[in-house]
Structure 1
Amino acid sequence: MSRKQWEAESYHSKDFDWNELREEVEKNPSLQFHFLPFSEVVTQIEDAQLDSEAWDQFHARHSTGKFFKERRYLLKEFPELASCKDESKVLEVGCGNGSTALPILCGREGIILYACDCSNEALERAKEIVTASNSVSAIHRFHPFLCDFSTTGFPLWLACNTCSDSSFHGHHLGFSEAYAGANLDEARSCIGGVDFVTLIFTLSALPLDRMPKAIKECFAVLKPGGMLLFRDYGVCDMTMLRFDPQQRIGYREYLRSDGTRSYFFCLDTVRSLTSAAGFIEVELEYCCVNAANQQNGKVMKRVFVHGKFQKPTLN
């Protein structure tokens, strides 16, 4: 078995108990500030345009390809994608540099993938990555478009026809700007909703007050019976514990030096957001992974929240 195959098979497992890690962290005096109440009101970074600019700059700095790390575990962790019917429609929200798009497109030949991001730079990187795969099929099934779903909502052509009149509040964009790189004839009409929405390390980059709207938008574009596939950073993840006190901008919310933000989820927060939007919980758990640093040999305790949520079927 090659190293990449080994990583794909073993990356997400139960390497340690989350409750034991939480207890260990809470007893460490140098880390207790992470769990203190936070009441300071921060306003200087609330503008959505600033968020987009920060991510544009982030992807411009990481444009060499070294930053790209294909998420090979996706179809293993979300087997629904591997077993779905041909021409199933997937919406990837916050596609970044294509690290999620490529394994989905290459792992399941029949999938049609719509991918959005608030950053033009990210979309350019994703297009380059998919094109470099030399898979004609993947290129033809990949439809990227610019969208900040947490502020403007999704374009109307994504909406589920059944739900659009009653629950969809997306902002309509002209197909020429909202459907860059896609087939224009198809873009002129509504695609009738998608079968899956993937929200992979995306929600944590939003301000907390935008998250309820963001999840409701995901619910609105799903067909009845469709699924939201979720993965993001969990409480006590190594990344959270590396932040300094001055980088806190809220309870479990942090601002990086490059202007991007990160939130760390507990199960109850994800459960509350999804149930309020109307989802039925299928799976929700912590993924606790010991990841070895290849340079120094140290083991890093990574904590992710893994979830699957279904939109109710029509009666």
Structure 2
Amino acid sequence: MAENDNEKVHIGHKARILSAEEIEKIEKDQNLVSEFKREKYEKEAQKNWDLFYKRNTTKFFKDRHWTTREFQELLNEKNKESKLVIFEVGCGVGNFMFPLLQEDDSLYFYACDFSNRAVDFVKENSQYDSVRCTAFQCDITKDDITNQIPLNSVDVATMIFVLSAVNPDKMVEALKNVFRVIKPGGCLLIRDYGLYDFAMLRFAAGHKLSENFYVRQDGTRAYYFSLEILEGMMTEAGFIQERNDYVQRNTVNKKKGINVPRIFVQGKFVKPRDNS
């Protein structure tokens, strides 16, 4: 094995070193989806998410009971008499919001989603209470969020597996939009797909839209973040990075005998206190 081949085997990052086979697969997959199809996926992004929720209704995602374990910022421990205002970007059908509202009656939620159908499912849920939460449809890359949420009013914003679905060219604008409604000193919590996650390496040839950006069979899209890329976007949007790490998890399917390595990025990014 040549010296440069030996170096290639160690391509990756601190959470995942790629095997020679994985490196070869990535290096071979260089052909991008045609410009015509890329534009089509962009134009039909909302329609594809509406179709996703039409097919899967409320049954695809499990309730996210792990969030307060990973993000202590979601716990209103300081002053229960004062509402903790949370803005969930990309609420889906409420798998994040409803468990938290059930656990803590001192929370108030704003929740938006790109899909009208998803928002309808949230509002139809028996747990939906307009006194405690407001759900609305929104394209965070261009819609003015302040039509629904006052400027500088949110304590904690969250984007859980959401930013990755946005065209990378529009991610910074989306983050700037969210930045506007967060209080100075408030924060944005992120969890999303990490570079070299198993799902990224599983894409067959013909699904690559741009570097680290892929399209699924159903037309929905996913970007896979390095820590450096995520930090750069957050900084450009005005946030200060407080923490930003790779998270490793294994998804085990005992019946099939499969142990799948998952890589996520997870971070906390703060709006400066002198920013109003």
| TM-score (norm. length: structure 1) | 0.76
Contact 2:164 2:192 in 1 (8 A): yes
Equivalent residue, structure 2, for 1:144: 135
Amino acid at match of 1:216: K
SS of the equivalent of 1:312 reads: coil
- Looking at structure 2, the residues matched to 70 and 145 of structure 1 have their Cα atoms a distance apart, in angstroms, of 20
Equivalent residue, structure 1, for 2:49: 55
Once the two structures are superposed, what CA deviation does each residue of 1:42-80 show, in whole Å capped at 9, x if it has no partner? 322232xx11111000001001x4313011110111111
- Looking at structure 1, the residues matched to 21 and 72 of structure 2 have their Cα atoms a distance apart, in angstroms, of 35
Alpha-carbon RMSD across the aligned residues, in angstroms, is 2.3
Contact 2:76 2:107 in 1 (8 A): no
Higher strand share: 2
Percent identical residues: 35
- The answer to whether the aligner puts 1:19 opposite 2:23 as a matched pair is no
Give the 5 Å matches for 1:296-315.
296-314=256-274
Equivalent residue, structure 2, for 1:30: 25
Quick one: which of 220, 232, 237 aligns to 2:197? 237
- Looking at structure 2, the residues matched to 97 and 294 of structure 1 have their Cα atoms a distance apart, in angstroms, of 28
Amino acid at match of 2:50: D
- Looking at structure 1, the residues matched to 15 and 268 of structure 2 have their Cα atoms a distance apart, in angstroms, of 25
Contact 2:15 2:247 in 1 (8 A): no
1:103 deviates by: 2.4
Contact 1:18 1:288 in 2 (8 A): no
Contact 2:192 2:265 in 1 (8 A): yes
Inter-CA distance 95–19: structure 2 relative to 1 (3 Å threshold)? same
1:27 deviates by: 5.3
Q: Which moved more, 1:226-235 or 1:81-90?
A: 81-90
Equivalent residue, structure 1, for 2:7: none
Higher helix share: 1
How many residues align? The count is 259
- Looking at structure 1, the residues matched to 117 and 59 of structure 2 have their Cα atoms a distance apart, in angstroms, of 16
- Looking at structure 2, the residues matched to 105 and 80 of structure 1 have their Cα atoms a distance apart, in angstroms, of 14
1:82 deviates by: 0.9
Once the two structures are superposed, what CA deviation does each residue of 1:123-155 show, in whole Å capped at 9, x if it has no partner? 1222344x2x5xx8x663121011111122313
Equivalent residue, structure 2, for 1:153: 144
Inter-CA distance 25–251: structure 2 relative to 1 (3 Å threshold)? farther
SS of the equivalent of 1:140 reads: coil
Contact 1:75 1:107 in 2 (8 A): no
Contact 1:283 1:308 in 2 (8 A): yes
- Looking at structure 2, the residues matched to 33 and 98 of structure 1 have their Cα atoms a distance apart, in angstroms, of 39
Contact 2:73 2:156 in 1 (8 A): no
SS of the equivalent of 1:198 reads: strand
Equivalent residue, structure 2, for 1:74: 67
Equivalent residue, structure 1, for 2:40: 44
Residue segments in structure 2 that go unaligned for 5+ positions in a row: 1-11
Equivalent residue, structure 2, for 1:112: 108
1:156 deviates by: 3.2
Equivalent residue, structure 2, for 1:202: 162
- Looking at structure 1, the residues matched to 230 and 103 of structure 2 have their Cα atoms a distance apart, in angstroms, of 28
- Looking at structure 2, the residues matched to 127 and 195 of structure 1 have their Cα atoms a distance apart, in angstroms, of 23
Give the 5 Å matches for 1:159-174.
159-160=150-151
Contact 1:40 1:250 in 2 (8 A): no
- Looking at structure 2, the residues matched to 123 and 112 of structure 1 have their Cα atoms a distance apart, in angstroms, of 17
- The answer to whether the aligner puts 1:278 opposite 2:273 as a matched pair is no
Once the two structures are superposed, what CA deviation does each residue of 1:2-44 show, in whole Å capped at 9, x if it has no partner? xxxxxxxxxxxxxxx953623326754234345x596964322
- Looking at structure 1, the residues matched to 118 and 54 of structure 2 have their Cα atoms a distance apart, in angstroms, of 8
- Looking at structure 2, the residues matched to 204 and 25 of structure 1 have their Cα atoms a distance apart, in angstroms, of 26
- Looking at structure 2, the residues matched to 153 and 26 of structure 1 have their Cα atoms a distance apart, in angstroms, of 46
- Looking at structure 1, the residues matched to 18 and 229 of structure 2 have their Cα atoms a distance apart, in angstroms, of 19
Inter-CA distance 116–276: structure 2 relative to 1 (3 Å threshold)? same
Inter-CA distance 88–296: structure 2 relative to 1 (3 Å threshold)? same
Contact 2:114 2:138 in 1 (8 A): yes
Contact 2:76 2:84 in 1 (8 A): no
Equivalent residue, structure 2, for 1:188: none
- Looking at structure 2, the residues matched to 277 and 232 of structure 1 have their Cα atoms a distance apart, in angstroms, of 18
SS of the equivalent of 1:155 reads: helix
| TM-score (norm. length: structure 2) | 0.86
